[in-house]
Structure 1
């Protein structure tokens, strides 16, 4: 599978007083690409509602490398950075590129699945785990190994 990516044109609403893309817009674009990836695998918002589960984040780390200005075209990728054996925990690494191919930022997120009825972490359905297992792996991919609680 090739790297999952989407292209966007940066909007006026994404700018800050320094006339470059505001810090939170980077994570907004990354989140959109994650949701698009899931939807393209059959896991739309409607499907999540049917399954009564949803993705949650534990950590979000953004590294800013180059400025992005208004009306620039950016390309945002999503690659699997890690996955637990049961698919309950995951890491996705997004890279945001300027139109000339230079890396502008990376956004790395660690997440899990929330049972929306019980409000507790859960293991996703097998077809969701399979979709993640077939995603392109980032060069830093490492299995997520959870320690057993005593």
Structure 2
């Protein structure tokens, strides 16, 4: 399995009344995987924050495939599926797997970078574009330049 950026055990606080992983816990796992991926590629959230930039999400879609239960071990993969060079908008696809390799969910997020002082969308500094160009890409990756 490629592009795994989070591995961990499901804990009690992540379980809902139906005794499986609660819906918002999927988003939390994927956000951590995305953060880990950016850090590993040289673009940590701390580094981004030093430039007064932060990520903002416009859409988050979760497709449930199989249940995940208390104490299950999971792996989360992350790939960039779309990137717009002109305005730094992005899409990431995450896949959540149980330790036995069963794919349990697919989470897609669309977002952009925001100037956290001006509270307006912004682009990443030009010198960071090479980092973005090396992020793991999906097989159906689309680069947009308008």
Q: Same fold (TM over 0.5)?
A: yes
* Secondary structure of residue in 1 paired with 2:25: helix
Match of 1:99 in 2: 99
Separation of aligned partners in 2, 1:86 and 1:129 = 11
Contact (CA 8 Å) 1:87, 1:129: kept in 2 or not?
Answer: no
Q: Within 5 Å, which residues of 2 pair with 1:1-150? A: 3-86=3-86, 88-144=88-144, 146=146
1:94 deviates by: 0.3
1:36 deviates by: 1.2
Pairwise CA RMSD: 1.6
TM-score normalised by L of structure 2 = 0.91
Separation of aligned partners in 2, 1:103 and 1:127 = 36
Cα deviations by residue, 1:112-146 (Å, 9 ceiling, x for unpaired): 00011211111101343222211221123222454
Classify 1:19/1:39 alpha carbon distance in 2 versus 1 (closer, same or farther; 3 Å): same
The structure richer in strand per residue is 2
* Secondary structure of residue in 2 paired with 1:62: strand
Separation of aligned partners in 1, 2:50 and 2:5 = 27
1:87 deviates by: 5.9
TM-score normalised by L of structure 1 = 0.89
> What stretches of structure 2 of length at least 5 have no aligned partner?
none
